[in-house]
Amino acid sequence: MGCFIFWKSLRLRFSLVNGTIIQEYNNADNLSFVVVNLAEEDNAISQMELEADRVQATANLEQGALVRFVLFNLKQGDRLLIVAHHLIIDTVSWRLLLEDLSTGYEQACADILIKFPAKTDSYQQWAKALQKYSTEQALQARDYWQQLAQAKVNNLLIDINTNESNLVADSHTLEFSLSQEQTNSLLTDVHRVYHTEINDILLASVAIALYAWSGNENFLIDLEGHGRVDDIDGIDVSRTVGWFTSIYPVLLTIAPGADLPYQIKVSAQ
């Protein structure tokens, strides 16, 4: 029978000791589960939203709990709120967690034995293996990454007055949608021509847009990955909850006057 062994990462706490952030496990009893009865309230939805905002705003990295479950009893039916700090759960982890909760709930409703998929290595095992990897195999690529991170590029233009407010409230969001035909072309057709992946096309688009805006030909950006790679032998975290996200530098280069196919091939290197 499987179990939520990956929930161990949901009990993490963070504290500052002599200028160093320490990550450690805490007692499982500190996981928070609260029931809020709003079944008789006329403005139940508004109260639920206020309570949800309060729960999310009161997370404490040192004292926890960094994951909270709140069950709201409503006339329309119960709703479960799950709040977890991003330091203990990434996007892939959310999918795993919700899938297992759904599976367990369906099995309980059917009055059958709750059984989850087989466990994978713990967050702690991964952390120890990563530490060992970083002092052995990873050293072989250290010079490459250091050279890339120190690449000289021109600063981007600042199009705001830095003496004025620069808050989230001052920002704007631009949204657009692709048609079904455009989406299919982006995800499938274009790769048959250039033997690329979706990231290559997106990076080429970013480079072209930045060049058109700034006139610069080189751009150093950070890419984010899910971090669940097979580089560390003997470690499997495909079904482990935690924050495995990795960030690494990428140097984008524009060749002024070059056609689009060439730019896509450069971005794919």
Residue 67 and residue 59: Cα distance in Å, rounded? 8
DSSP state of 160: S
Q: What is the pLDDT of residue 64?
A: 76
Residue 252 and residue 242: Cα distance in Å, rounded? 31
Note the CATH architecture for domain 125-267.
Answer: 2-Layer Sandwich (3.30)
Q: What is the pLDDT of residue 28?
A: 61
Q: What is the pLDDT of residue 264?
A: 81
Q: Could you tell me if 28 and 11 are in contact, meaning their C-beta atoms sit under 8 angstroms apart? A: yes
Residue 45 and residue 74: Cα distance in Å, rounded? 8
Q: What is the pLDDT of residue 175?
A: 93
Domains 5-119 and 125-267 share a fold: yes
The domain locations on the chain are 5-119, 125-267
Q: What is the pLDDT of residue 62?
A: 87
SS3 67: strand
Q: What is the pLDDT along the chain (269 residues), one digit of tens a residue?
A: 334 444 677 888 888 899 898 888 876 656 788 999 999 998 999 999 999 999 999 888 888 788 899 999 999 899 999 999 988 899 999 999 999 999 999 999 999 999 988 889 988 899 888 888 877 766 667 788 888 888 888 888 777 676 777 788 888 898 999 999 999 888 888 888 888 888 888 899 899 999 998 889 999 999 998 888 877 878 999 999 899 998 888 899 888 888 888 778 777 66
* CATH superfamily label, 5-119: Chloramphenicol acetyltransferase-like domain (3.30.559.10)
Instruction: For residue 32, give the nearest of 62, 59, 3 by alpha carbon.
Output: 59
